[in-house]
């Protein structure tokens, strides 16, 4: 049995609960949206905890925060562990925060025991994972991995017209003593602990999920254009009613796309109608499509069907389809998955392989280094809600497995050499 790396479970829980007080909502949840005063306050708290243990803090142009436990070999690429500190407006205490605090606890525990890793161990919090204030999310990890340019990210505005750029400048001005790293750097590996945000682990009575990958996702914006008219006088046959076209198109999409495969997730989540007046024939309907499937071939096939179905059912209206997100499914690094499974086994904790139905920053890190995720169960599978809850013992167990995997990775001169 491999040695178990102890962490301080009580401290981890106390800090996680203290963090949840920043942006706490009356309903017991957290409202700490990206680049808000709440997130800045959370940075102050987390940086103070890290510095107390001798870690050093730095940021980058994308507003990611790095807390570094220095390794013996400063030239070796660092091992990254972390998640995000931002939340949904009525989010919970654990989404993102559990991963950051588990990562910090692991690094702090190593530091306290005077255990110096071979590689730098860097706890990271990615900017704007949630994408609710500034859409779409995962900006920090996308910028880090070179998926999106920083100027495009800075230009995005929230509902009040405030830009990411302005808020990034405000964030950096709040931490004038933090050194600024260049955007993106070579990493040896990335590990992220997260609550599952679904019910599978709890149902299967497993303590851990070894995440195999993240299911692929495509999103589209569709606009149906017709013509306005008087609801009382315009003859029915002459109408180009955009809402009627939407009703036909939406029904056909639901029926046909759902029929492609049982695992398909097809959602029309937002619809706007113009002019949206009771006695006017609707002239324009814009709607969103969110399409997900773990198998890229099925996802592509389903995505391709959308265009044909829209064109088939739109007439006499015209239709414009704009693809927005095209994120294929990814597989996490098999060597890291094996190590997570083994660490869970060594600690006597039942685990299972699980596909992430939700997106995470790790998807982007997987493009630039070996990456993997550990899921812990959350009560009833509920997440993005104020009553989101994870058992203290499960959070601690997750951190403990993370610590053991990191003992292998960051303390080895060549993290993966034993596997080849």
Binding region for Zn ion (CB under 5 A): 95-96
Q: Cβ 186 to Zn ion, closest distance in Å?
A: 25
Q: Cβ 193 to Zn ion, closest distance in Å?
A: 11
> Cis link prior to 78 (omega < 30° from 0)?
no
CB 313, CB 248: distance < 8 Å:
yes
Q: Which is nearer to Zn ion, 95 or 196 (CB)?
A: 95
Q: Which is nearer to Zn ion, 84 or 119 (CB)?
A: 84
Q: Is 333 exposed, middle or buried (0-12, 13-18, 19+ CB in 10 A)?
A: middle
Q: Which is nearer to Zn ion, 86 or 120 (CB)?
A: 86
Q: Which is nearer to Zn ion, 201 or 281 (CB)?
A: 201
3-state DSSP call for residue 176? coil
CB 306, CB 264: distance < 8 Å:
no
Strand-strand pairing, 79-83 and 121-125 = parallel
Q: Cβ 84 to Zn ion, closest distance in Å?
A: 6
Q: Cβ 398 to Zn ion, closest distance in Å?
A: 14
Close Cβ partners of 194 (under 8 Å, ≥ 6 residues apart): 83, 95, 96, 98, 99, 360, 373, 374, 375, 376
Q: Cβ 324 to Zn ion, closest distance in Å?
A: 20
Long-range contacts for 171-175 (Cβ within 8 Å, ≥24 apart)? 171/35, 171/39, 171/40, 171/43, 171/59, 171/63, 172/59, 172/63, 174/40, 174/43, 175/43, 175/47, 175/57, 175/59
- The span from the CA of 53 to the CA of 349, in Å, is 29
Q: Which is nearer to Zn ion, 377 or 415 (CB)?
A: 377
> Read out DSSP for 34-46?
TTSHHHHHHHHHH
Q: Cβ 43 to Zn ion, closest distance in Å?
A: 17
Q: Cβ 85 to Zn ion, closest distance in Å?
A: 10
- The span from the CA of 406 to the CA of 355, in Å, is 22
Q: Cβ 197 to Zn ion, closest distance in Å?
A: 7
Q: Which is nearer to Zn ion, 218 or 363 (CB)?
A: 363
**Angle, CA 151 vertex, CA 150 and CA 155 arms, to 5°:** 115
3-state DSSP call for residue 79? strand
Q: Which is nearer to Zn ion, 254 or 384 (CB)?
A: 384
Q: Which is nearer to Zn ion, 60 or 95 (CB)?
A: 95
């Amino acid at each position: 049995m491999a040695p178990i790396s102890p962490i301080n479970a009580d401290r981890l829980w106390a800090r996680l609960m203290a963090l949840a007080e920043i942006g706490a909502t009356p309903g017991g949840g957290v409202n700490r949206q990206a680049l808000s005063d709440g997130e800045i306050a959370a940075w102050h708290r987390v940086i103070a905890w890290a510095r107390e243990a001798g870690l050093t803090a730095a940021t980058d142009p994308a507003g990611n925060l790095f807390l570094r436990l220095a390794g013996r070999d400063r030239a070796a690429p660092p091992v990254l562990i972390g998640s995000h500190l931002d939340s949904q407006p009525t989010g919970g205490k654990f989404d993102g925060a559990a991963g950051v605090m588990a990562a910090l606890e692991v690094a702090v525990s190593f530091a306290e025991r005077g255990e110096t890793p071979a590689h730098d161990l860097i706890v990271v919090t990615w900017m704007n994972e949630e994408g609710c204030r500034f859409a779409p999310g995962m900006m920090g990890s996308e910028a880090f991995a070179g998926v999106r340019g920083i100027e495009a990210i800075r230009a995005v505005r929230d509902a009040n017209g405030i830009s990411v750029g302005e808020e990034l400048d405000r964030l950096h001005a709040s931490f004038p003593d933090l050194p600024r790293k260049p955007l993106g750097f070579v990493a040896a590996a990335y590990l992220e602990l997260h609550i599952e945000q679904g019910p599978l682990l709890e149902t299967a009575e497993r303590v851990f999920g070894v995440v195999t990958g993240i299911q692929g996702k495509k999103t589209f914006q569709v606009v149906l254009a017709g013509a306005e008219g008087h609801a009382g006088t315009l003859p029915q046959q002459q109408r180009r009613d955009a809402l009627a076209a939407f009703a036909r198109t939406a029904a056909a999409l639901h029926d046909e796309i759902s029929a492609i495969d049982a695992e398909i997730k097809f959602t029309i989540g937002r619809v706007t109608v113009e002019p949206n007046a009771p006695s006017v024939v609707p002239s324009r309907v814009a709607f969103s499509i969110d399409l997900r499937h773990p198998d890229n071939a099925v996802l592509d096939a389903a995505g391709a069907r959308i265009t044909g179905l829209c064109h088939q059912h739109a007439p006499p209206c015209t239709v414009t389809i704009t693809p927005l997100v095209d994120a294929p499914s990814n597989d996490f690094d098999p060597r890291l998955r094996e190590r997570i499974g083994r660490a869970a086994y060594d600690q006597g904790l039942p685990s299972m392989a699980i596909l992430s139905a939700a997106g995470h920053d790790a998807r982007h890190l997987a493009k630039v280094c070996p990456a993997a995720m550990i899921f812990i169960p959350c009560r009833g599978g509920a997440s993005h809600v104020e009553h989101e809850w994870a058992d203290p013992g499960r959070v601690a167990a997750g951190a403990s497995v993370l610590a053991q995997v990191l003992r292998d990775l960051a303390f080895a001169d060549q993290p993966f050499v034993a596997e080849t």
